[in-house]
Amino acid sequence: MYLICACLVACALDDDYDLSGYDYVGGNWTNEIMHLVGKYNDVLDKSDVELLSFKKVSNKALDITFFFNEMTVIPVYLGGLDRFELFPYSVAEKDTFSLHFRVDYLKDRVDSILDNTECDIVKLEWSHKGDKFNTFALFNANTGELEYDNILFNLFRMETINGEKKKLLTRGEGGNGNNVNDHYELTCFYNRNDEIAAYAWSRWIEIGHWNESNIYDSTNVIGKRYTYVHDRLDQNSGSWSLDNNMLSAFTVFRDSSNTSCAKFKKYTYVGPKAFVPSNNAPLNENMLPNTTLDLSYTALDDRWFGCIVKVKVDYIQIMPTKPDYYY
């Protein structure tokens, strides 16, 4: 994430600031934003998330539904602390055990802030893998300190767990030691107002183990050889749309794994229901393993003119290797 340096005067109500062209001086909450973005710059980069712009707003009717709704996304750390994935709130809310998402804590915190703290309200625009979304941030009006934002408040590193006052709020674990890969993907469809109108999410986890065999010289065991064994592929998916009569969002898995590797196709569609290919036809495309076929296109009909219909097939093959070990 690269910020081109320049200067701005102190922030004014409803001013909109584009991070691609400016560095900030002035109001305390602007400094707080820049401090947090700078502090977690590497984590945001590796997660393909970028803060594009922000503006102070005067929405006095702000309530908890602005922070937790069908279009809310929450950072979840799946395998380590160097990057996160964005999970829809509806998914994290239902899967509190495996994702360690503390729903009640976050809701209680935001409720308390809205009831008891005088805040500056800032609307932030983000980009995730090219898709845009917004969050609302609450900053203490007296100190400029961040009180809550779905993204900024839930970023952390190991030192956050060990020493800082901020609590560990959202964390996903890679599971047990047999997990070879834990992957999550969110695909969004935007209407002509550039608003998220539908999305599909999918998560897959390859689980396997290593068989050991001895390596011999002419008479003695001199080492170990490791052979990977595929046990199973865990896969989950879900979706949401603003209008289930007009829009469709789904993910289909076709698993062709064998004992030595995980191998499967994953087909995702998010867009108008009338455009859905019949019989999951994209899964029949000829592809090489570990390639992606992006069949997305721009809709030309009147209702969805200019909207990008998301159609994608991933052919994934996992064949782990482990070097021989010699005594």
CA–CA distance, 271 with 301 (Å, rounded to integer): 13
- Burial per residue of 175-210, b for 16 or more beta-carbon CB atoms within 10 angstroms, e otherwise: eeeebbbbebbbbbbbbeeeebbbbbbbbbbbbbee
pLDDT of 165 strictly over 60: no
264: nearest Cα among 318, 184, 200, 185: 318
DSSP one-letter string for 127-181 = EETTEEEEEEEEEETTT--EEE-TTGGG---HHHHHT-SS---------STTEEE
Position 7 pLDDT exceeds 60:
no
Tell me the torsion sign for CA atoms 116, 122, 128, 132.
Answer: positive
Do 230 and 107 fall into the same domain? no
Among residues 109, 129, 162, the one where a domain terminates is 162
The 8-class DSSP code of residue 244 comes to: T
My answer on whether 147 and 75 are in the same domain is yes
Does residue 3 lie in a domain region?
A: no
Q: Measuring CA to CA, which residue among 188, 224, 184 is closest to residue 77?
A: 184
Would you state the pLDDT for residue 1?
Answer: 32
Q: pLDDT-derived band of residue 317, with 50, 70 and 90 as boundaries?
A: very high
In this prediction the pTM is 0.60
Closest CA to 208 of 274, 173, 257: 257
Residues 222 and 193 both lie in one domain: yes
Q: Which of 162, 197, 226 is the last residue of a domain?
A: 162
42 part of a folded domain: yes
Q: Which residue has the higher pLDDT, 103 or 35?
A: 35
Residues 219, 128, single domain; the answer is no
Q: Do both 134 and 26 map to the same domain?
A: yes
How many structural domains comprise the chain? 2
Q: Say if residue 90's pLDDT is above 80.
A: no
Residue 179: its pLDDT value, please? 52
- Domain presence at residue 172: no
Backbone CA torsion sign across 56, 59, 60, 63: negative
167 occurs within a structural domain: no
Tell me, yes or no, whether 122 and 200 share the same domain: no
142 and 187 in one domain? Answer: no
Q: Give the model's pLDDT for residue 279.
A: 87
Q: Please state, in angstroms and rounded to a whole number, the distance separating the CA atoms of residues 184 and 96.
A: 16
Q: Are residues 189 and 230 in the same domain?
A: yes
- Going from the C-alpha of 246 to that of each of 267, 273, 275, the distances in angstroms are 20, 5, 10
Q: Say yes or no to pLDDT of 254 above 50.
A: yes
Whether residue 11 lies inside any domain: the answer is: no
Residue 271 lies inside a defined structural domain of this protein: yes
Which helix (H) or strand (E) segment holds residue 36: the answer is helix 28-39
The Cα–Cα gap between 199 and 188 comes to 4
Q: Are residues 158 and 196 in the same domain?
A: no
pLDDT value of residue 81: 67
Q: Kindly report the CA angle at 50 between 45 and 52, in degrees rounded to 5?
A: 155
DSSP secondary structure of 174-242: --STTEEEEEEEEEEEE-TTS-EEEEEEEEEEEEEEEEEEEEE-SSSEEEEEEEEEEEEEEEEEEEEES
Domain span at residue 320 reads 179-326
Q: 170 or 115, which is more confident?
A: 115
What is the total residue count of the chain? 327
In a domain, 280, yes or no: yes
What is the mean predicted confidence (pLDDT) over 260-269?
Answer: 94
Can you tell me which residue has the tokens 């800032």? 122
User: Are both 189 and 264 inside the same structural domain?
Assistant: yes
| Chain segment 108-156, per-residue pLDDT in tens | 888 888 888 889 999 999 998 878 889 999 999 888 899 999 999 888 7
pLDDT at 79: 59
Do 243 and 272 share a domain, yes or no? yes
